[in-house]
């Protein structure tokens, strides 16, 4: 696919998505958003890619939705459809079976900040700034600014960020558990590369499972989350080689269905009419 407002690059196991509208501080125009959706889908379909880095061109990450285009969204139903489109984009990003890194330099506000909230890691430069200024435009966030934000930093601070609309320094985001690390200006790329090296050394199946159970578990009650942990423990043991269980089918049930052999006939003859009211 040819991208006009985004740079898409693959190097080894890593895809880099660079938001490339520097003159508008990488505001998420409708066109750029469509390209970001397409890029996320390309990454999702790949089994060769393991990592994704999202960054901005021209010294800024992104200032969020392009307010100048909002009149093109249409009526209230059109706005709702557009918001749901962006929500799906963030959900797809969060659900990738790849490890995602937001490399933040400069401003990450509004929708730009919402992108970082859907990523697994966020590394930012000292000069980076963040916030949710939608309140002063007379609108409300649509795809993470209230929901993911409250889950990450708590209800009270999420209200502070959204109701006041202040722009905060990068270190506050780390102190509030919104971002992972702050690095000196000019050291963002080396820090991202070091993180990629560490992640690349891991059992990739283990990383995929850890991401999945953490994302699911945080939205579940304790016992449900523990269920994910237990199943993940069994799966990682299986893929690490100890997969045989004495009283498991080991694939014979599927083979029996295909051939309709004696095993299939026995099971179905016992089950088909069992406790079926006549």
Q: Enter the pTM of the model.
A: 0.95
Annotated catalytic residues are: 114, 134
Predicted confidence at residue 62, as pLDDT, reads 98
The per-residue pLDDT of the chain, averaged, comes to 97
CATH of the domain at 71: 3.90.226.10
Same domain, 188 and 226: no
pLDDT of residue 278 exceeding 80: no
Same domain, 178 and 212: no
Sheet containing 181-183: which strands, arranged edge to edge? 6-11, 14-19, 51-56, 99-104, 121-125, 181-183
What is the rounded distance in angstroms from the CA atom of residue 221 to the CA atom of residue 218? 8
Predicted confidence at residue 277, as pLDDT, reads 84
Q: pLDDT tens for residues 71-97?
A: 999 999 999 999 999 999 999 999 999
Q: pLDDT tens for residues 236-256?
A: 999 999 999 999 999 999 999
Average pLDDT, integer, range 118-136? 98
Same domain, 129 and 191: yes
User: Residue 258: inside a domain, yes or no?
Assistant: no
How many structural domains is the chain composed of? Answer: 2
Predicted confidence at residue 3, as pLDDT, reads 97
Q: Domain residues for 72?
A: 6-200
User: Residue 163: inside a domain, yes or no?
Assistant: yes
């Amino acid at each position: 696919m040819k991208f006009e407002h985004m740079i898409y690059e693959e190097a080894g196991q890593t895809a880099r998505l660079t938001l490339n509208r520097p003159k508008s501080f990488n505001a998420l125009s409708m066109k750029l958003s469509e390209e970001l959706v397409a890029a996320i889908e390309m990454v999702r379909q790949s089994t060769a890619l393991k990592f994704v880095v999202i960054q901005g061109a021209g010294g800024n990450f992104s200032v969020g939705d392009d307010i100048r285009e909002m009149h093109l969204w249409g009526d209230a139903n059109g706005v709702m459809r557009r918001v749901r489109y962006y929500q799906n984009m963030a959900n797809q990003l969060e659900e990738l079976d790849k490890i995602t890194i937001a490399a933040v330099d400069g401003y990450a506000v509004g929708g730009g900040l919402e992108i970082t909230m859907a990523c697994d890691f966020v590394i930012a430069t000292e000069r980076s700034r963040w916030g949710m200024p939608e309140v002063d435009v007379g609108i409300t966030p649509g795809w993470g600014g209230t929901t993911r934000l409250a889950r990450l930093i708590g209800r009270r601070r999420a209200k502070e960020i959204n109701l006041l609309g202040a722009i905060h320094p990068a270190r506050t985001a780390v102190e509030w558990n919104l971002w992972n690390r702050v690095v000196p200006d000019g050291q963002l790329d080396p820090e991202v590369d070091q993180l990629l090296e560490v992640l690349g050394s891991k059992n990739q199946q283990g990383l995929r499972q850890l991401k999945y159970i953490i994302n699911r578990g945080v939205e579940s009650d304790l016992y449900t989350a523990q269920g994910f942990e237990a199943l993940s423990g069994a799966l990682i043991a299986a893929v690490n080689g100890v997969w045989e269980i004495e009283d498991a089918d080991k694939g014979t049930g599927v083979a029996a269905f295909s051939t309709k052999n004696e095993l299939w006939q026995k099971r179905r003859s016992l089950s088909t009419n069992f406790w079926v009211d006549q």
